[in-house]
């Protein structure tokens, strides 16, 4: 008997995933989701089993921690009305597999973990909060539980839990529940309860069973022996902490670290300065150990740590598209607001309406007015009007309007004008982007009043009250501590709907000559990404520590790049510099944005398609160098998707994209962007010479050689087109010469599988659910026994008489045995079906047996000796052999032949191959056609065809009997081959094949689970895998169809990707060939 164990992480970071299947005595199916890129994952996969390092307080970046004792409680609740016992040995088997599985993985810093396992009669469920799992506490508790089970032969439902401790929630919870396999719903509900932060029954029910030590974050401890610690020496320029000049000695027992906290609750260091990097946020104990002090390096004394504080999940996710209403002022890259895809975005922020000096709304610019009229008529999306922006907030002619508008004398007038505008135009809300209230150092304009942060809050709060609950009020917040500290964030998030958090422009040309802008770069002009992932996470920590619930923060992503002119061509280190001044960028202008230092994603895509570029990805940002010294940092769609998944893991409200009109060339004007003519220098590159590559293996063998980067995509397309063509040739051979014979082999194997599955069902505990049994046997009544041995098999019931008679028995769970007696008693049982509907449903869904295949009849169970000498052999057999009557027997088994589906797909594959060849040739003449799209669009058809033929050819005829496992493997190969043909004919045309495949995969039980995962991918037309084939079917030879297919291929989620078997193996090779892992 095999058990299965399933592992699941609560989704928090979807940036990489892998799966595996083990063919040991225990089948393991694992899905892990960790915030790692490919390189890091490959390194992790080579580690030995995880062993916790006691010298480290935590595997993860955490706030300061202290040790706290807690108790794990045990109790044995009633799991249900039919709570039954289970085998302790079975529980130990399941529990040990969980122990081994936990040892093979590195605990997550952000993900709580859940495990489920069963073995025969027992099931176990485990919940592990991230804050205890990363310290190895869960493994210790499980180890002790298994010893307890072994010592006490535990066979009743048992719950072990540590939950609800001081309201810390699920992250600090442990839960283990063991029960009968029949109680799986109870086990699942218990684990869900722990995952939701609750307790099974209540926290301290039962008995304290095991003490544990938790590491919990606390403020810096300040107690001393006399209860009155000395004050640290004052620091002249300190702005936080007890070392601020003029700070008085507090009363005894006061925690000195809480004196004079930093704005926004950011970290305060030993020098009395506020910030969010290691110098401010990491605590190191001072030599004296005095409270309120720290070591000089990593010297945090209060509000330490840079953890992002995870709030509750938002009721609905938000995805904002900012629309630059002035985009028609550009010569190209223009877009109408109604070209925004409202199936993707929930909110459109129309940026920006103007404000007059008397605080009235002004939309008099004709281009903006035209777009606003279109905007008002849109449906199925939240329509939000935005005011402000950088230019409006900082230019000499307009900077003072918002500064005056928020003052008490003008606040009501301004608010009423905004409310009237929203109501008159039937809008859904208002967004204000003032950059920035209270700012002291915006160039070329006076410092703002420090009180304006509070004034801004009062305006927005009053505005929300005036608009009511059905209109939203939001504001844009900077990701810089220097500017964000003027915002009363905690108050603002209580009253307002959401924050647009500008986690972009973390760096730019303005860094030049600023020694504080980039750690490790005194000159300030080091090349840095404006969307650096580490700095973004620090910004998220800052705003959540400031009191903003994560479910009210909409995190920014960018559809533009920040560009710089490199000081030295070829430089690739952290110290590479850019040229210019704080106000002047020497970077090349985009042809549409026409601004040095700022370039749209659409223009970046054009540059990449033209070649002569170097691309890479690091620290969650994309990078590009072109024309030797033009350096750009940006976010492509994959990066945005990865960021969104990370933000979701912390329950942020969603993402906001600046700006949607910068993404692609939509061209909403009559002047087509396609009129732009690129200068083509035909001999700029030497041709990609050498023999064409026919397979990825050939290409892989040359990767170490000097293959030009610009040729790699062309070579991959060559290999994939050749792979598809080879697959098509093999396809023809299969249909014309070998298919019928292979189907006969498959059909014979599948038919032979059916009797085994029927027996598997009838020897399981399911037989008691659907049948009652009687036996016609010789009965010895206990009242007539004359010797001791008689009492072993006698019966006692009213009216008992010795002799042959029918008696009720428990239905025997015995497999037919064609052989001589083995000492076991086999009754001549008659089975009576009591629940026909339930039986047929269960045996089909669980075991793959169709009703038409079964008849009820006499099944020979055991051969007994003696009939070989009988005169009437058949009569002797009838009397002496053992039979089951009215027993389900496999007859009339019919196996579906999918030849029509396979044949029908041929024309589609051939037509697709011809279009691939044509697209490859057209790519040489179309500068906007991206070879990377062709690489990804052609990958699935090529490798699906290859795998389908390979799988079919693995079905071979073996003379004589073969092992059941080998038979199941051949059946799986045939069905896997069929499933990879389905996408070429479409889900509707392949319905019969899909249904047949599902039946046969159930027929082979555990062996079919790998095939069922492929089945799930091809039977759902809405998923990204099937969308690739859908887009290609209608693509013709246009760019958009292949681009959509490529984007669908890139959008395949890890859970689908990992089900694709041999196709996944080829895609992994493609990934490594396209994006080789290199050392930093």
Does some domain include residue 564? no
What's the Cα-to-Cα distance from 495 to each of 431, 462, 796, 914, rounded to whole Å?
14, 9, 79, 60
Contact 1047, 674 (CB under 8 A): no
Does some domain include residue 595? no
Q: Given this model, what pLDDT does residue 1018 score?
A: 57
Which of the pair, 577 or 1005, is modelled with greater confidence?
577
Is pLDDT at 610 greater than 70 in this prediction? Answer: yes
- What is the pLDDT confidence band of residue 343, given thresholds at 50, 70 and 90? very high
Q: What is the C-alpha to C-alpha distance for residues 664 and 559, in angstroms, rounded to an integer?
A: 9
Which of the pair, 60 or 249, is modelled with greater confidence?
249
Q: What is the C-alpha to C-alpha distance for residues 362 and 366, in angstroms, rounded to an integer?
A: 11
Average the pLDDT over 8-29 and give the result.
Answer: 27
Does some domain include residue 618? no
Phi, psi at 347, each rounded to 5°: -135, 140
- Please name which of 205, 215, 202 lies closest in space to residue 172, comparing C-alpha atoms: 215
Which of the pair, 58 or 210, is modelled with greater confidence?
210
Q: What is the largest CA-CA distance in the chain?
A: 121
Average the pLDDT over 362-390 and give the result.
Answer: 95
- Three-class DSSP category at 489: helix
62-106 residue pLDDT tens? 544 556 778 888 888 887 766 778 888 888 988 888 887 777 677
Question: Do 1067 and 974 lie in a common domain?
Answer: yes
571-599 residue pLDDT tens? 888 889 999 998 899 999 999 999 999 99
Does some domain include residue 735? yes
Please tell me the pTM assigned to this model.
Answer: 0.49
The dihedral sign for the CA sequence 44, 49, 52, 55: negative
Average the pLDDT over 498-517 and give the result.
Answer: 92
- What is the pLDDT confidence band of residue 1078, given thresholds at 50, 70 and 90? very low
Q: What is the C-alpha to C-alpha distance for residues 1059 and 1025, in angstroms, rounded to an integer?
A: 11
Q: Given this model, what pLDDT does residue 268 score?
A: 92
Which of the pair, 274 or 1060, is modelled with greater confidence?
274
- What is the pLDDT confidence band of residue 160, given thresholds at 50, 70 and 90? very high
**Lowest-pLDDT choice from 249-258, 264-273, 635-644:** 249-258
Average the pLDDT over 663-685 and give the result.
Answer: 54
Residues with active-site annotation: 435
Is pLDDT at 22 greater than 90 in this prediction? Answer: no
Count CB atoms within 10 A of the CB of residue 48: 7
Q: What is the CATH number of the domain that holds 331?
A: 3.20.20.80
Q: Given this model, what pLDDT does residue 557 score?
A: 97
Average the pLDDT over 284-302 and give the result.
Answer: 56
Share of the chain above pLDDT 90, in %: 35
- What is the pLDDT confidence band of residue 287, given thresholds at 50, 70 and 90? very low
- Please name which of 631, 485, 492 lies closest in space to residue 567, comparing C-alpha atoms: 631
Is pLDDT at 21 greater than 50 in this prediction? Answer: no
Phi, psi at 673, each rounded to 5°: -65, -20
Question: Do 865 and 923 lie in a common domain?
Answer: no
Q: Given this model, what pLDDT does residue 222 score?
A: 41
Q: Given this model, what pLDDT does residue 1021 score?
A: 55
Q: Given this model, what pLDDT does residue 43 score?
A: 38
51-63 residue pLDDT tens? 444 444 445 655 4
- Please name which of 911, 944, 954 lies closest in space to residue 1018, comparing C-alpha atoms: 944
Tokens 């078997």 belong to residue: 1061
Question: Do 227 and 336 lie in a common domain?
Answer: no
- Three-class DSSP category at 361: strand
Does some domain include residue 590? no
Residues sharing a CB contact under 8 Å with residue 1066, sequence separation 6 or more, in sequence order: 696, 939, 943, 946, 947
Residues sharing a CB contact under 8 Å with residue 418, sequence separation 6 or more, in sequence order: 361, 387, 430, 463
Is pLDDT at 661 greater than 80 in this prediction? Answer: yes
Question: Do 947 and 873 lie in a common domain?
Answer: no
Question: Do 185 and 81 lie in a common domain?
Answer: yes
> Could you say which of 264, 281, 305 is where a domain stops?
305
Phi, psi at 58, each rounded to 5°: -160, 150
> Could you say which of 836, 865, 890 is where a domain stops?
890
Q: Given this model, what pLDDT does residue 971 score?
A: 66
**Lowest-pLDDT choice from 14-18, 441-445, 647-651, 838-842:** 14-18
What's the Cα-to-Cα distance from 759 to each of 192, 816, 822, 1038, rounded to whole Å?
36, 8, 19, 56
- What is the pLDDT confidence band of residue 39, given thresholds at 50, 70 and 90? very low
Q: Given this model, what pLDDT does residue 97 score?
A: 82
| Residue range(s) defining the domain that contains residue 1009 | 709-745+895-1074
Q: What is the C-alpha to C-alpha distance for residues 608 and 614, in angstroms, rounded to an integer?
A: 9
379-400 residue pLDDT tens? 999 999 999 999 999 999 999 9
Residues sharing a CB contact under 8 Å with residue 146, sequence separation 6 or more, in sequence order: 92, 95, 96, 99
Structure-token pair, residue 181: 């396999």
DSSP 337: G
**Lowest-pLDDT choice from 134-148, 282-296, 376-390, 506-520:** 282-296
922-945 residue pLDDT tens? 655 555 556 677 777 777 777 777
Is pLDDT at 19 greater than 60 in this prediction? Answer: no
DSSP H or E run through 774:
strand 771-779
Does some domain include residue 1009? yes
Question: Do 853 and 951 lie in a common domain?
Answer: no
- Please name which of 535, 615, 603, 531 lies closest in space to residue 572, comparing C-alpha atoms: 615
Question: Do 950 and 984 lie in a common domain?
Answer: yes
Q: What is the C-alpha to C-alpha distance for residues 74 and 1054, in angstroms, rounded to an integer?
A: 37
Is pLDDT at 947 greater than 80 in this prediction? Answer: no
Beta strands in 939-1075 (DSSP E): none
Q: Given this model, what pLDDT does residue 1080 score?
A: 38
Q: What is the C-alpha to C-alpha distance for residues 975 and 1012, in angstroms, rounded to an integer?
A: 10
- What is the pLDDT confidence band of residue 989, given thresholds at 50, 70 and 90? very low
Is pLDDT at 965 greater than 90 in this prediction? Answer: no
Which of the pair, 1031 or 149, is modelled with greater confidence?
149
- What is the pLDDT confidence band of residue 660, given thresholds at 50, 70 and 90? very high
Does some domain include residue 677? no
Share of the chain above pLDDT 70, in %: 73
Is pLDDT at 458 greater than 70 in this prediction? Answer: yes
- What is the pLDDT confidence band of residue 891, given thresholds at 50, 70 and 90? confident
**Lowest-pLDDT choice from 234-243, 430-439, 797-806, 929-938:** 929-938
**Mean pLDDT, all residues of the chain:** 78
Question: Do 211 and 228 lie in a common domain?
Answer: no
- What is the pLDDT confidence band of residue 438, given thresholds at 50, 70 and 90? very high
Q: How many domains does the chain have?
A: 5
Average the pLDDT over 968-975 and give the result.
Answer: 66
Give per-residue burial for 1039-1048: e unless 16+ CB within 10 Å, then b.
Answer: bebbbbbbbb
Question: Cis peptide before 659, with omega less than 30 degrees from 0?
Answer: yes
> Could you say which of 252, 282, 305 is where a domain stops?
305
Question: Do 13 and 96 lie in a common domain?
Answer: yes
Greatest mean pLDDT among 650-659, 808-817, 833-842 lies in: 650-659
Question: Do 720 and 773 lie in a common domain?
Answer: no
Does some domain include residue 672? no
Give per-residue burial for 5-30: e unless 16+ CB within 10 Å, then b.
Answer: bebbbbebbbbbbbbeeeeeebbbbb
Cross-strand pairs, 809: 773
Question: Do 296 and 338 lie in a common domain?
Answer: no
- What is the pLDDT confidence band of residue 801, given thresholds at 50, 70 and 90? confident
Residues sharing a CB contact under 8 Å with residue 160, sequence separation 6 or more, in sequence order: 72, 73, 74, 141, 145, 174, 175, 176, 177, 209, 210
Q: Given this model, what pLDDT does residue 183 score?
A: 86
Is pLDDT at 42 greater than 50 in this prediction? Answer: no
Question: Do 875 and 950 lie in a common domain?
Answer: no
What's the Cα-to-Cα distance from 45 to each of 42, 114, 134, 138, 690, rounded to whole Å?
5, 20, 18, 22, 36
- Please name which of 568, 563, 536 lies closest in space to residue 633, comparing C-alpha atoms: 563
Give Cα 788 to chain centroid, integer Å: 67
């Amino acid at each position: 008997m095999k058990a299965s164990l399933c592992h699941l992480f609560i989704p928090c970071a979807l940036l990489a995933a892998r799966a595996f299947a083990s063919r040991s005595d225990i089948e393991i199916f694992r899905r892990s989701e960790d915030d790692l890129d490919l390189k890091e994952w490959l390194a992790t996969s080579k580690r030995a089993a995880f062993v916790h390092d006691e010298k480290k307080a935590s595997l993860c970046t955490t706030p300061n921690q202290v040790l706290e004792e807690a108790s794990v409680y045990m109790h044995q609740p009633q799991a249900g009305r039919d709570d039954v016992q289970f085998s302790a040995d079975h529980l130990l088997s399941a529990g040990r597999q969980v122990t081994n599985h936990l040892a093979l993985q590195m605990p997550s810093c952000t993900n709580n973990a859940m495990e489920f396992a069963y073995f025969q009669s027992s099931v176990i469920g485990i919940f592990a909060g991230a804050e205890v799992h990363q310290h190895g506490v869960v493994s210790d508790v499980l180890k002790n539980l298994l010893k307890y089970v072994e010592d006490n032969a535990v066979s009743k439902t048992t719950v072990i839990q540590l939950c609800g401790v001081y309201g810390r929630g699920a992250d600090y919870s442990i839960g283990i529940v063991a029960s009968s396999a029949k109680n799986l719903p109870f086990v699942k509900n218990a684990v869900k309860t722990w995952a939701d932060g609750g307790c099974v029954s209540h926290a301290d029910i039962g008995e304290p069973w095991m003490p544990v030590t938790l590491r919990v974050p606390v403020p810096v401890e300040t107690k001393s022996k006399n209860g009155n610690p000395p004050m640290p020496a004052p620091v002249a320029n300190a702005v936080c902490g007890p070392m601020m000049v003029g700070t008085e000695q507090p009363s005894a027992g006061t925690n000195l670290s809480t004196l004079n906290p930093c704005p926004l609750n950011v970290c305060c260091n030993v020098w009395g300065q506020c910030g969010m990097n290691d110098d401010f946020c990491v605590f190191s104990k001072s030599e004296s150990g005095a409270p309120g002090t720290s070591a000089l390096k990593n010297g945090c004394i209060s509000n330490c740590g840079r953890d992002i504080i995870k709030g509750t999940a938002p009721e609905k996710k938000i995805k904002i598209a900012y629309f630059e209403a002035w985009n028609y002022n550009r010569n190209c890259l223009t877009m109408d607001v109604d070209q925004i895809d409202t199936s993707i975005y929930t909110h459109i922020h129309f940026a920006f309406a103007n404000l007059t000096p008397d605080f009235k709304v002004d939309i008099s610019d004709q281009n903006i007015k035209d777009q606003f009229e279109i905007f008002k008529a849109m449906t199925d999306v939240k329509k939000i009007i935005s005011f402000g922006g950088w230019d409006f907030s900082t230019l000499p002619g307009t900077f003072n309007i918002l500064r005056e508008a928020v003052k008490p004398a003008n606040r009501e007038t301004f608010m009423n004008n905004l409310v009237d505008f929203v109501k008159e135009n039937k809008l859904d809300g208002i967004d204000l982007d003032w950059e920035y209230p209270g700012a002291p150092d915006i160039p070329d304009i006076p410092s703002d009043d420090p009180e304006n942060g509070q004034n801004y809050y009062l305006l927005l709060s009053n505005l929300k009250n005036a608009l009511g609950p059905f209109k939203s009020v939001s504001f844009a917040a900077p990701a810089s501590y220097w500017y964000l500290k003027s915002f009363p964030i905690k108050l603002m998030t209580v009253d307002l709907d959401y924050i647009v958090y500008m986690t972009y422009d973390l760096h730019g040309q303005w860094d030049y000559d600023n020694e504080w802008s980039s750690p490790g770069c005194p000159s300030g002009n080091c090349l840095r990404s404006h969307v650096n992932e580490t700095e973004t996470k620090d910004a998220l920590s800052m705003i959540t520590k400031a009191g903003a619930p994560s479910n009210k923060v909409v995190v920014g992503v960018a559809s533009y790049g920040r560009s710089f002119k490199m000081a030295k061509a070829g430089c690739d280190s952290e110290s590479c510099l850019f040229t210019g001044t704080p106000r002047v960028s020497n970077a090349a202008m985009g042809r549409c944005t026409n601004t040095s230092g700022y370039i749209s994603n659409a223009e970046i895509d054009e540059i990449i398609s033209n070649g002569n570029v170097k691309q890479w990805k690091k620290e969650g940002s994309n990078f590009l160098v072109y024309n030797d010294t033009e350096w750009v940092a940006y976010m492509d769609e994959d990066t945005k998707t990865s960021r969104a998944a990370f933000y979701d893991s912390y329950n942020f409200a969603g993402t906001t994209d600046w700006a949607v009109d910068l993404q692609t060339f939509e061209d909403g004007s009559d002047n087509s962007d396609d009129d732009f003519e690129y200068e083509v220098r035909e001999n700029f590159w030497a041709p990609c010479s050498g023999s064409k590559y026919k397979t990825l293996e050939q290409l892989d063998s040359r990767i170490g050689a000097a293959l030009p980067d610009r040729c790699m995509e062309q070579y991959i397309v060559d290999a994939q087109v050749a792979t598809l063509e080879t697959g098509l040739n093999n396809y023809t051979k299969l249909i014309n010469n070998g298919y019928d014979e292979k189907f006969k082999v498959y059909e014979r194997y599948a038919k032979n599988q059916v009797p085994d599955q029927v027996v598997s069902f009838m020897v399981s505990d399911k037989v008691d659910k659907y049948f009652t049994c009687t036996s016609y046997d010789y009965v010895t009544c206990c009242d007539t026994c004359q010797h001791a041995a008689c009492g072993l098999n006698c019966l006692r019931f009213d009216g008992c008489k010795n002799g042959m008679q029918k008696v009720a028995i428990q239905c025997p769970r015995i497999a037919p045995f064609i052989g001589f007696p083995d000492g076991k008693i086999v009754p001549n049982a008659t089975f009576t079906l009591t629940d026909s509907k339930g039986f047929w449903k269960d045996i089909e869904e669980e075991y793959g047996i169709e009703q038409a295949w079964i008849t009820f009849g006499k099944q020979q169970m055991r051969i007994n000796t003696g009939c070989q000498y009988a005169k009437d052999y058949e009569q002797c057999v009838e009397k002496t052999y053992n039979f089951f009557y009215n027993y389900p027997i496999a007859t009339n088994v019919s196996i579906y032949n999918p030849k029509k589906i396979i044949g029908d797909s041929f024309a589609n594959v051939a037509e697709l191959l011809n279009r691939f060849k044509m697209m490859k040739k057209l790519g040489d003449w179309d500068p906007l056609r991206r070879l990377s799209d062709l690489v990804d669009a052609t990958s699935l058809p090529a490798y699906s065809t290859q795998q389908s033929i390979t799988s079919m050819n693995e079905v071979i005829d073996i003379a004589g009997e073969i092992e059941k496992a080998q038979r199941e493997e051949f059946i799986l190969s045939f069905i896997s081959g069929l499933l990879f043909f389905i996408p070429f004919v479409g889900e509707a045309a392949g319905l019969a094949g899909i249904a047949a495949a599902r039946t046969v995969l159930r027929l082979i039980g555990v062996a079919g689970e790998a095939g069922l995962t492929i089945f799930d991918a091809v039977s759902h037309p809405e998923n990204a895998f099937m969308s690739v084939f859908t887009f290609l079917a209608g693509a013709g030879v246009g760019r958009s169809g292949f681009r959509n297919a490529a984007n669908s291929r890139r959008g395949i989620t890890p859970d689908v990707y990992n089900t694709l078997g041999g196709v996944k193996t080829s895609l992994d090779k493609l990934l490594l060939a396209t994006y080789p892992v290199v050392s930093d």
